[in-house]
Structure 1
Amino acid sequence: MLPLLRRWLFYTLLSAALLFLLFQASHFLEGPHGGHRRSHKSPIERLTHPAFWQPKFRWRDLPQRHPVANLTALPSGPLVDIPKIQHDFEPETQERRVERQARLAAVREAFLHSWDGYKQNAWLQDEVAPVSGESHNGFGGWGATLVDSLDTLWIMGLQKDFRVAVTALKKIDFTTTPLNEVNVFETTIRYLGGFLSAYDVSGQKHKILLEKAVELGDMLYVAFDTPNRMPVTRWDWKNAALGGSQEAARFSLLAEVGSFTLEFTRLSQLTGDNKWYDAIARITDVFEDSQNRTKIPGMWGVMVDTLNADFTRDTTFSIGGMADSLYEYLPKQHLMLGGRSDQYRGMYSTALASIKQHIFFRPLNPDNQQLLLSGTLKRFSSAHISLIPEAQHLTCFAGGMVALAAKAFQQTHELETARQLVDGCLWAYESMPSGIMPEAFHAAPCEETADGNCTWTDQKWYRAINTPAPTKQPVDDTPEQTMKDAQLTIKAAKLVPGFTRIIDPRYMLRPEAIESLFVLYRITGDHTLQDKAWNMFQAISNATKTTIAYAGIQDVSETGSDWIDTMESFWTAETLKYFYLIFSEPDVISLDDYVLNTEAHPLLRPK
Structure 2
Amino acid sequence: MSSWAPRPSRIILFVLVLGATSVFYLLIFSPELLSSASFLRDDDDVPVKKSSSKIVPGSKGVPGRGADVVKRDAVVAAFKHAWSAYERDAMGADEYHPLTHRGENLSPSTPNTSNGIGYTIADSLDTMYLMGGPLTPYYTRARSWVADSLSFNQTGEFSTFETTIRVLGGLLAIYHLSGDDIYRIKAEDLGDRLLGAFETKSGLPYPSINLMTGKGVPDHYSPSRASTAEATTVQLEFRYLAEITGKEKFWRKAEGAMRVAREHVPVNGRYVVPIYMDLGGGGFSGGEVRLGSRGDSYYEYLLKQYLQTNNTEPAYKEMYEQAMQSVHDHLVKQTPKRNMTYIAELFTRVVGQGKVDWTLSSKQDHLVCFFAGSLMLGATTTQLRPGVSHASIPPDLTNELTEEGRRDWETGRELMDTCMRTHETKTGLAPEIAQFGENEGGEGGEREWWIKRLHGSSYDARYMLRCVLSLPSPLLSSFSPRFSPLRYLIVNRPETVESLFIAYRLTHDLKYRTHAWDIFSAIEKYCKIPGGGYATVEDVDELPVRLDDKQETFFLSETLKYLFLTFEDEGRVSLKDYVFNTEGHPMPIFPPSITPQFP
Instruction: Give the TM interval when normalised to the shorter protein.
Output: 0.7 to 0.9
Matches within 5 A, 1:292-331: 292=266, 294-295=267-268, 297-311=270-284, 313-331=285-303
Contact 2:125-2:174 within 8 A present in 1 as well: yes
- Deviation by residue 1:226-281 (Cα, 9 ceiling, x = unmatched): 3443311123456656x999999411111111111100010011111110110011
Match of 1:101 among 65, 69, 72: 69
Match of 1:185 among 161, 176, 181: 161
Q: Separation in 1 of the partners of 2:545 and 2:299?
A: 34
- Normalised to the residue count of structure 1, the TM-score between the two structures is 0.72
Structure 1 residues 253 and 245: alpha-carbon distance in aligned structure 2, compared to 1, 3 A threshold: closer
Cα offset, 1:496, TM superposition: 7.3
Match of 1:550 among 530, 534, 541: 534
Matches within 5 A, 1:465-544: 465-466=439-440, 485-486=441-442, 497-502=447-452, 503-504=459-460, 505-544=488-527
Q: Separation in 2 of the partners of 1:568 and 1:128?
A: 7
Aligned equivalent of 1:259: 233
3-state SS of 1:589 partner: coil
1:425 has 2:425 as partner: no
3-state SS of 2:582 partner: coil
Q: Separation in 2 of the partners of 1:217 and 1:266?
A: 11
Aligned equivalent of 1:197: 173
1:377 has 2:346 as partner: yes
Aligned equivalent of 1:51: none
**For residue 542 of structure 2, what is the amino acid of its counterpart?**
E
Identity %: 30
Q: Separation in 2 of the partners of 1:580 and 1:240?
A: 37
Aligned equivalent of 2:127: 152
Q: Separation in 2 of the partners of 1:308 and 1:240?
A: 23
Aligned equivalent of 2:563: 579
Matches within 5 A, 1:112-151: 112-138=80-106, 141-151=116-126
Cα offset, 1:528, TM superposition: 1.3
Aligned equivalent of 2:144: 167
- Deviation by residue 1:41-98 (Cα, 9 ceiling, x = unmatched): xxxxxxxxxxxxxxxxxxxxxxxxxxxxxxxxxxxxxxxxxxxxxxx97564xxx86x
Larger radius of gyration: 1
Contact 2:204-2:260 within 8 A present in 1 as well: no
- Deviation by residue 1:100-123 (Cα, 9 ceiling, x = unmatched): 211111111000000101100010
Match of 1:386 among 359, 369, 382: 359
Aligned equivalent of 1:593: 577
Cα offset, 1:385, TM superposition: 2.2
Contact 2:75-2:564 within 8 A present in 1 as well: yes
Cα offset, 1:286, TM superposition: 1.2
Contact 2:203-2:260 within 8 A present in 1 as well: no
Identify unmatched segments of 5+ residues in structure 2. Answer: 1-60, 111-115, 385-400, 453-458, 461-487, 592-599
Match of 2:205 among 218, 231, 252: 231
User: Paired residues, what number?
Assistant: 462
Contact 2:342-2:415 within 8 A present in 1 as well: yes
Aligned equivalent of 1:435: 428
1:220 has 2:197 as partner: no
Contact 1:151-1:198 within 8 A present in 2 as well: yes
**For residue 153 of structure 1, what is the amino acid of its counterpart?**
M
Matches within 5 A, 1:272-311: 272-292=246-266, 294-295=267-268, 297-311=270-284
Cα offset, 1:501, TM superposition: 3.8
Q: Separation in 2 of the partners of 1:545 and 1:246?
A: 36
- Normalised to the residue count of structure 2, the TM-score between the two structures is 0.73
Contact 1:509-1:552 within 8 A present in 2 as well: yes
Identify unmatched segments of 5+ residues in structure 1. Answer: 1-87, 445-463, 467-484
- Deviation by residue 1:526-579 (Cα, 9 ceiling, x = unmatched): 111101111111012211001220000010012331101001100000000001
Q: Separation in 2 of the partners of 1:305 and 1:296?
A: 19
Tell me how large the CA RMSD over aligned residues is.
2.5
Q: Separation in 1 of the partners of 2:219 and 2:430?
A: 41
- Deviation by residue 1:102-154 (Cα, 9 ceiling, x = unmatched): 11111110000001011000101111101111112116721211110000011
Q: Separation in 1 of the partners of 2:262 and 2:429?
A: 37
Structure 1 residues 118 and 296: alpha-carbon distance in aligned structure 2, compared to 1, 3 A threshold: farther
Matches within 5 A, 1:399-418: 399-409=372-382, 410=384, 411=401, 412-413=405-406, 414-418=408-412
- The structure whose residues are more often strand, as a share, is 2
Aligned equivalent of 2:482: none
Bigger shift: residues 523-532 or 228-237: 228-237
